[in-house]
Amino acid sequence: MSSSLPVKLKTYWKLGFSSVTRVAAYRAACKTGLYGLLLPILTWDDGSLFYTPEPLPAPSISPESRTILLEHAEALLRGNMSYFSDEMKQVGSPPDWFIDPFSGNRLSPGGHWSKLNEFSATDIKTVWEASRFEWVPLLARAWRVSGDSRYIDTLNQWLHDWVLRNPYNSGPNWKCGQETSIRILNLMLGSFLLGTHSQPSPALTALIELHCSRIRPTIQYAIAQNNNHGTSEAAALYLGGMWLLEVDQQLPEQLRLKAQHWRDIGKSLLEERVMYLVAADGSFSQYSVNYHRVLIDTLSQVELWRQEFGDRPFSNPFAERCCAAVEWLNQVTDADTGDAPNLGANDGARLYDLSNTPYRDYRPTVQLASLLFNNSRAYGAGPWDEPLQWLGRSTSHDDAGARRDSMVHENGGYVVLHSGSSHAVIRFASFQFRPSHADCLHFDLWHNGKNILRDGGTYSYNTDPQWLDYFSGSKSHNTIQFDGRNQMSRLGRFLFGDWLSMSECSGIRQKDGSTSWTGAYQDRQQAWHRRTVTVKDDNWKVVDEIDGFKKSAVLRWRLLPDLWQLEGNVCCGRNAQLRVITAAPLKRFELVTGWESLCYLQKTEVPVLEVEFPPGSWEVTTEIILKG
């Protein structure tokens, strides 16, 4: 028996028997061709999915926002599409639906989706991106503000081309149930913005029916992931089924029964998923800030359509979890910039976006969801209100006001500390679900909207092992790495073994005007790390106690890109100063070049202060003085 086998078996046990068996059943059904029989390849003639609508008044958005919106729409007409919410790529008009514009590789458009390998030489996410239909609401909004028929014509031309070149169940764009779900919600959102949702075209209704038919047979695989795949697919079944029942009173009886089933099973599964994956403190199973946004944006679409169609509300416990999840994202979002710590996995997703704010601005999500679930606004007036305007929601700000309290999210493993004009987020191990990053006791520091000490991000899910290990491993976080290894052993692309647990985890302590928190863990090889964070009047102190390692320990502070210099035991920059105090005979105290990824498939250099210790039992204090 190899040394990794016991770790794998223990990890699979933690993942849960039902999840493991669901994944195994899905893979077996793909391998044996069962899905090919259940979901045969079909071609169909769509017709126009969107009628040319009657002119509609546009929301009163700012001239600057209108200009940005039309610039983005014109770029689409020229065949330039934004990938992963950041980088523009030329893909043609209509796009080549099978091209990876980053590498130039092209996936085969043919064959049943169940026979395709999503982790080939090409990152399949680069192919899926154009087929998420995020351009549908964008072109619809451009038509609303301009009345220019080119946007509607392009919308129908692209959709017709997509249907023609992506026969039902054929090719990579039918591979993933979640990607199919995202298309449903964007089609519905586009129809709402065009004012055609009460009387959609037969072609649009048929396309939504096909998408629901694709999602339902494999949703148990999505459930097994214990992440936003399950919430997205349950939401799409609920909304797609409800759409069919509400907008087409002439549905054939067989299809009506299917739609009722999709609506009811989708709603039931969504409620079950939220109650299981969202903790009472608002934390989400993926331990990721950006995937938390994906969850909230999906739930906002669900609540919008539930209200639009007058369906009965979800249960009170479900509503309470939604409110808690919104408040969690509110607490970690910087109120001045809308940015948030780059914690956990991040694939660049920003779904159902109706604002022209930057990708890393989380305020539009928080503002809309806060209104929908908490019946209040988190922020005063600003460009983050545009989703409310497009969706016909009141933008009164009499009740606006974001609460900023220090707190511990015990279920998800987060500490939020506030003091003066600065705040910090600390990660600690509290794993009911699989962790995607080895980031225990990571310390993320913000001051006046600047991320002074920062997380490395993700970069890519399908990259060289060295980059995969760097970004999700301990090197990419502000913590201590023992003996050059990760805090947990890597078992796969998205899976760590030897899940950590905390030997100590305090509450928030207040004393003499200061606020502090302490946490500690011991890893499988007996290395021990205890961290205490204290703040008073924007002055931060981090005390690390370490022991039990064999060769060396490295403390890393990943710094805001800036001009940093070492002066003795002090690292000086224009925005902060870090003084490191220890009795340990240091092996190294130097600035090195590290990497961070703020957007998927992009990486940039960042300065990193590395402090290396020899074996022993040591205490090191880092005093952080913020400037400005």
Take residue 214 and report the two structure tokens written for it: 């694709």
How many angstroms separate the CA atoms of 495 and 477, rounded?
18
Strands (E), 342-455: 407-409, 414-419, 422-427, 443-447, 450-453
How many angstroms separate the CA atoms of 381 and 62, rounded?
12
CB atoms within 10 A of CB 566: 13
pLDDT tens-digit series, residues 314-339: 999 999 999 999 999 999 999 999 99
pLDDT tens-digit series, residues 484-535: 999 999 988 878 999 999 999 999 999 999 999 999 999 999 999 999 999 9
pLDDT tens-digit series, residues 74-90: 999 999 999 998 889 99
pLDDT tens-digit series, residues 401-438: 656 789 999 999 999 999 989 999 999 999 999 999 99
CATH of domain 407-626: 2.70.98.70
Question: Tell me, what's the pLDDT at 486?
Answer: 96
Please state the domain extents for the chain. 1-31, 51-319, 407-626
Question: Tell me, what's the pLDDT at 57?
Answer: 87
- Whether residue 471 has pLDDT greater than 70: yes
pLDDT tens-digit series, residues 256-297: 999 999 999 999 999 999 999 999 999 999 999 999 999 999
Question: Tell me, what's the pLDDT at 251?
Answer: 86
How many angstroms separate the CA atoms of 215 and 180, rounded?
7
How far lies 114's CA from each of 130, 165, 209, 322, 627, in Å? 20, 18, 20, 34, 56
Q: What is the mean pLDDT of residues 556-577?
A: 96
- Whether residue 607 has pLDDT greater than 50: yes
pLDDT, mean over the chain: 94
Right CATH number for 51-319 from 3.40.50.300, 3.40.930.10, 3.40.190.10, 1.50.10.100? Answer: 1.50.10.100
Higher local confidence (pLDDT), 337 or 398: 337
Give the neighbor-by-neighbor strand order of the sheet with 450-453: 407-409, 414-419, 422-427, 443-447, 450-453
pLDDT band at 2 (very low <50, low <70, confident <90, very high): very low
Question: Tell me, what's the pLDDT at 1?
Answer: 32
Question: Tell me, what's the pLDDT at 403?
Answer: 63
- Whether residue 376 has pLDDT greater than 70: yes
User: What b/e string do you get for 56-66 counting C-beta neighbours within 10 Å, with b at 16 or more?
Assistant: eebbebeeebb
pLDDT band at 612 (very low <50, low <70, confident <90, very high): very high
pLDDT band at 400 (very low <50, low <70, confident <90, very high): low
Q: Are 239 and 254 in contact (CB under 8 A)?
A: no
- Whether residue 3 has pLDDT greater than 70: no
Q: What is the mean pLDDT of residues 568-589?
A: 97
Helix (H) or strand (E) holding 515: strand 514-522
Higher local confidence (pLDDT), 251 or 558: 558
